[in-house]
Amino acid sequence: MLIVESLQKSFQLDDDEVCAVDNLSFEVQPGEVYGLLGPNGAGKTTTLRMILGLVKPDAGYAQVSGFRTEVDPTAVKSRLGFVSASDGVYPWLSVREMLLYFADLYGVLPNEAASRCEHLAALMGIKPLLDRRAGTLSTGQRQRVTLVRGLIHDPPVMLLDEPTRGLDVVGVQTIFEYIEHLREVGKAVVVCTHRLDEAERLCDRFGLLHHGRMQQTGTLPQLRQQSGHDHLVDMFIELLRS
Amino acid sequence: MPGVSLKGRLLRLCQKELKETIRDRRTIVTLVLMPLLVYPIMSMALNRFLLTNVSSDDGFTICVSSELESEILDQWLSNPLSVPPKAIADSSGGELAKFQVAVITDVPPAEAVARNDADVGMELSNIETGNPTATFFAYRGDSVSQAARRVVVERLQWLKLAEAENLLKRTLPDYRTPVLVSAEDVGSVEENSLLATIVPLVLVLMTITGAVYPAIDLTAGERERGTMEAVMASPVPRGYVLLSKYTAVVVVALLTAIANLVAMFTTLWASGLLEFLTGGDAFPWLTILQMLGLLVLFSGFFSAVLLSLTSFAKSFKEAQAYLIPVMLLSLTPAMLSLMPGITLSGALIVLPLVNIILLARDLLSGSVDPNNAFVAIVSTFAYAAAALSVAARLFGSDAVTRTSEKSIGSLLRRPREASSRPTPQAAALMLALLVPVYFLVSNGLMRFIKTSEDLNVSFALLLNAIALIFTFGLIPALAAWMGRNRFKTTFRIQPSGLLSFIGAILLGLGAWAFAHEAFLLADAIGIGGLSDQQIASAEASVTKMRESSALLLIACFALTPAVIEEFCFRGYLFSAIRGAATPLRTILITAFLFGLFHVLTGKALLVERFVPSTLMGLIIGWVAYRTRSVFPGIVIHFVHNGLLMLVLYYQDQLSFLGEGFDDQMHLPPLWLAAASALVMTGTLLIWVSSRNQPPGKSENKSDQQQADTRVT
């Protein structure tokens, strides 16, 4: 499971210090999909990057399966899967070579990596693409390869940053099915998005982020009770106006 | 990640980077197409240049339009009176230019010269009068044609003059030539073949051409493709990813350079230009082997520099903007190889890029100084390591935020948070600064002492100590301050028990005997050894040192090096390397560096110091590891140096001890037995004193504390 405790991060922009994430805490249990929601610049991506160890927090920590980011970042990284809308592929490698490369980065043994590669490729319907050069794939195919890549080391926690950005209806549906699969196999999933309609369909619990602070958190019924609105969109508009 | 071999992983990462680069068709263009196309075209241009600028062995061709003119010209040129006096011939190179006369009837001589059928054309008028007028035609701007005309006109002038002089002598028997002239040369000519002059320039171009594209693609390109963030999110150490990229860039640069080399030599050989460039008949296999060695050096250096620069860039375009000025700047020192007056000496030995270009030229012309070559190679590797450490600090940092947190300026900024020890990258940077500064300071100091004959010996000793403090003392201290490393942990300033100090004194007293035996062993296997001249020079230095007080000698040659060098090697470097390596490797690396720096003293490389110094480095390294402190090492170093200094100082008074002090002889068995007893007792005391504090755990105390805080 994932625990985020009092994460804090400020950036220096010219002479000003901008607080990107302010004392943020939440937990995600295995088999749960947590939606970290907020407008652009709310601090969602910075939060994910702090969990991933790409950004050093000013204070606080994230804990994955008992390992804390500031103590053992390598152990944390090896237990996290990460998929972002801006992820690319290596154009001159075959899909199989690319997936095995990432398996190697995560320390998966070569034999195990090969069988996981076959299994996940079958699951995501990219088996015929495995020996194609990645540079020749369509956007939708690349997206599915990226989703397989995120799971190649079988991490207990998955982080998805704006996973549906720039995708068509079929692509979005693939993401939905993917997240459903993650839930079924017991992964703790964090989805960062500003697509609130999609989040309502996907997530079990929500954290509403604004100006780096957690404004509200809970399940949809709990949020409805707290805010007096039925939909996340209305809750957000009120949040932005306040 | 249990069960996964790190070396195997690194190898697979390198394979991936190589596959990705070599499959790219842009690499293929630089690797295959360019050499295939460029060299044949270049050789054609060179051939044309040589044809128009160099005379053939058959001499110059003069064309005339009739047999009569040909006969007359032949008579003039074969007349011994047309040969210039020996002094004139000697001052023009000594050899008489050859001429061939050709009769061309289809066009006038001027036109024949214009269409390159002859070097010079001649037309004779007024032949029938017995007083003919010769007009010579040369091609404007063609140096060969102009030279040929100048020589033939001079020959005819000499003919006129000699005939006039003979006439004078016949009519005036008392006539004497006003002055007799002779010419002689002094000095020697630098025998640089044309190949040795142009190859360094070609090497720079070859390696840069090969390294530029992969360096950009594997760093800035990775960012642009959107794969960098995913790589950085993985648990593989950043250094591994960078090292695999570096390997790929070096391999591609080498392959490109080798492809260029093969294409260049094949084209030169096929076009017949090779003989002209090498100045000999044999195929230059040795030159090719030397060039391969140089290519490794050039590729290693350029790949590191280019990777460090492209690590700053966020896009392909930005990376290109950084690299173009670097490429142009690199050509400037490359041009130095074309200048005959510039040699690999002084500060140029440690000047990046310039040193290896001059080394390449000297190596190919067979005039390389091994000492200077060694320093140039060591400093180049240090610069490459420094460039890589810069790359390691920046590489992947832009994956953190789209607006990069790190920039060129961030390298000069101190980190916000203090750390307990420097990183190995910071240590590499420190060494890259230390190598040239130490080389320049020690060289400068030696020159100063040598040129100041009336310099006070005590002052010279003090200068030596000050130089040591400024280099080995100040540079690591500055590096620790810049990195905001806590001085106490970085320089391993830890208290140590009385027992460990007693052990250190005993080790210091006994270790010199083994260092001496190691020196003799190294001599026996051909590493170092002292020549008679070196022994005489050392004896002269010892005699001179006796003019100073023993106390000052101990302060400058025992206390200062013991404190300063130990803080550098068993303090800063030990803690930096220990952060990334096992204790054994840390001891080995610091000992090797300790030995290496004792070789790099002044202009002459003191190779004979390597083995004994490295042995001392191993002993002190082990003590530093066991005691977790720099202080016992200082004591060993001080006692060892102090003992040697005192023995040298009081050599005459100690002569009753026998011949054991002879540098070239093994120590008597009794002495060795006593030294062994001292070393063993010292080792035992050190081991006992640190028995209750297993160094492996306490050395990594901060890591242990971190592990303890892990929540399970």
In 3D, which of A98, A76, A100 has the Cα closest to residue A87?
Answer: A98
Percent of chain B scoring above 90 in pLDDT: 14
The answer to whether the CB of A35 falls within 8 A of the CB of A199 is yes
B557 within domain boundaries: yes
Nearest CA in chain A to B396: A54
Asked if B254 and B322 sit in the same domain, the reply is yes
Question: How is residue B336 annotated by DSSP?
Answer: G
Asked if B217 and B165 sit in the same domain, the reply is no
For B259-268, B298-307, B536-545, B661-670, which range has the lowest pLDDT when averaged over its residues?
B661-670
Give A-chain residues touching B20 at CB under 8 angstroms: 90, 92-93
The answer to whether the CB of B98 falls within 8 A of the CB of B77 is no
Q: Is the pLDDT of residue B407 over 70?
A: no
Six-digit token string for B440: 């320049």
Q: What is the pLDDT of residue B43?
A: 67
Q: What is the pLDDT of residue B710?
A: 31
**Scanning the structure block, which residue is given the tokens 């030229």?**
B361
Give B-chain residues touching A77 at CB under 8 angstroms: 233-235
B571 within domain boundaries: yes
Q: What is the pLDDT of residue A130?
A: 93
Q: What value does the mean pLDDT take over residues B630-649?
A: 89
Give B-chain residues touching A54 at CB under 8 angstroms: 229, 232-233, 399-400
Q: What is the pLDDT of residue B589?
A: 92
B234·A87 Cβ contact <8 A = no
- DSSP for B654-693, please give it: TGGG-GGG-TTSPPPHHHHHHHHHHHHHHHHHHHHHTTTS
Q: What is the pLDDT of residue B169?
A: 84
Query: Which of B227, B235, B706 lies nearest to residue A77, judging by beta carbons?
Result: B235
B235·A87 Cβ contact <8 A = no
In chain A, where the domains are located: 2-79+156-241, 88-154
Q: Is the pLDDT of residue B526 over 70?
A: no
Q: How far apart are CA B173 and CA B167, in angstroms?
A: 10
B447 within domain boundaries: no
Asked if B156 and B228 sit in the same domain, the reply is no
Asked if B274 and B330 sit in the same domain, the reply is yes
Domain count, chain B: 3
B387 within domain boundaries: no
Q: How far is CA B141 from CA B52, B147, B401, in A?
A: 10, 11, 62
Domain stop point among B113, B139, B171? B171
Q: What is the pLDDT of residue B402?
A: 46
Query: Which of B1, B225, B230 lies nearest to residue A78, judging by beta carbons?
Result: B1
Give A-chain residues touching B402 at CB under 8 angstroms: none
B233·A52 Cβ contact <8 A = yes
Give B-chain residues touching A132 at CB under 8 angstroms: none
**Chain B: which residues have CB within 8 Å of chain A?**
1, 3-4, 9, 12-13, 16, 19-21, 23-24, 225-227, 229-236, 399-401, 405, 706-707, 709-712
Q: What value does the mean pLDDT take over residues B261-279?
A: 72
Asked if B79 and B37 sit in the same domain, the reply is no
Confidence of residue B409 (pLDDT cuts 50, 70, 90): low
Topology given in CATH for the domain delimited by A2-79+156-241: Rossmann fold (3.40.50)
Q: Is the pLDDT of residue B25 over 90?
A: no
Q: What is the pLDDT of residue B569?
A: 94
Complex confidence, ipTM: 0.90
A107·B4 Cβ contact <8 A = yes
| Residue predicted with more confidence, B76 or B338 | B76
Asked if B36 and B59 sit in the same domain, the reply is no
Domain stop point among B171, B206, B223? B171
Render pLDDT for B387-405 as a digit per residue (tens, 0 to 9): 888 888 777 665 444 444 4
Q: Is the pLDDT of residue B173 over 70?
A: yes
Task: Give me the domain span that covers residue B90.
Answer: 55-171
| Residue predicted with more confidence, B362 or B680 | B680
Six-digit token string for B634: 């200082």
Six-digit token string for B283: 């195929």
B361 within domain boundaries: no
Q: Is the pLDDT of residue B697 over 70?
A: no
Q: How far apart are CA B337 and CA A189, in angstroms?
A: 62
Q: How far A24 CA sits from the closest chain B CA (Å)?
A: 19
Q: How far apart are CA B473 and CA B559, in angstroms?
A: 13
Q: What value does the mean pLDDT take over residues B593-603?
A: 77
Q: How far apart are CA B269 and CA B256, in angstroms?
A: 20
B40 within domain boundaries: yes
The answer to whether the CB of A223 falls within 8 A of the CB of A208 is yes
For B21-25, B238-242, B539-543, B669-673, which range has the lowest pLDDT when averaged over its residues?
B539-543
Asked if B508 and B626 sit in the same domain, the reply is yes
Strand stretches in chain A, DSSP E: 2-13, 16-28, 33-37, 59-64, 67-68, 80-84, 157-161, 188-193, 205-210, 213-218
Domain stop point among B337, B360, B377? B337
Q: Is the pLDDT of residue B330 over 70?
A: yes
Confidence of residue B698 (pLDDT cuts 50, 70, 90): very low
Nearest CA in chain A to B15: A101
| Residue predicted with more confidence, B186 or B222 | B222
**Arithmetic mean of pLDDT over chain B:** 79
One-letter amino acid at B268 equals L
Confidence of residue B702 (pLDDT cuts 50, 70, 90): very low
Q: What value does the mean pLDDT take over residues B532-552?
A: 75
Q: Is the pLDDT of residue B706 over 70?
A: no
B230·A84 Cβ contact <8 A = yes
Give A-chain residues touching B416 at CB under 8 angstroms: none
> Which residues, given as ranges, of chain A have pLDDT below 50?
none
Q: What is the pLDDT of residue A40?
A: 81
Asked if B200 and B284 sit in the same domain, the reply is yes
Confidence of residue B122 (pLDDT cuts 50, 70, 90): very high
Render pLDDT for B144-155 as a digit per residue (tens, 0 to 9): 888 889 888 988
CA B473, B478, B480, B481 dihedral sign is positive
The answer to whether the CB of B396 falls within 8 A of the CB of B370 is no
Select from A104, A190, A192 the residue whose CB has the most chain B CBs within 10 Å, as the one to mutate to test that interface.
A104
Q: Is the pLDDT of residue B423 over 90?
A: no
Asked if B521 and B651 sit in the same domain, the reply is yes
Asked if B24 and B136 sit in the same domain, the reply is no
For A87-101, B104-118, B397-411, B500-514, which range has the lowest pLDDT when averaged over its residues?
B397-411
In 3D, which of A34, A6, A31, A43 has the Cα closest to residue A202?
Answer: A34
Confidence of residue B703 (pLDDT cuts 50, 70, 90): very low
Query: Which of A82, A91, A92 lies nearest to residue B233, judging by beta carbons?
Result: A82
Asked if B566 and B642 sit in the same domain, the reply is yes
Q: What value does the mean pLDDT take over residues B189-209?
A: 71
B231·A105 Cβ contact <8 A = yes
Asked if B630 and B687 sit in the same domain, the reply is yes
Render pLDDT for B89-106 as a digit per residue (tens, 0 to 9): 776 666 677 888 889 888
Confidence of residue B440 (pLDDT cuts 50, 70, 90): confident
Cβ neighbours of residue B215 under 8 Å, at least 6 residues apart?
A: B249, B303, B306, B307, B309, B310, B319, B323
**Residue B332: is it exposed, middle or buried by C-beta count within 10 angstroms (0-12/13-18/19+)?**
exposed
In 3D, which of A214, A231, A228 has the Cα closest to residue A26?
Answer: A214
Query: Which of B9, B226, B234 lies nearest to residue A102, judging by beta carbons?
Result: B234
Pairing of strands B60-64, B120-125: parallel
For B116-125, B384-393, B452-461, which range has the lowest pLDDT when averaged over its residues?
B452-461
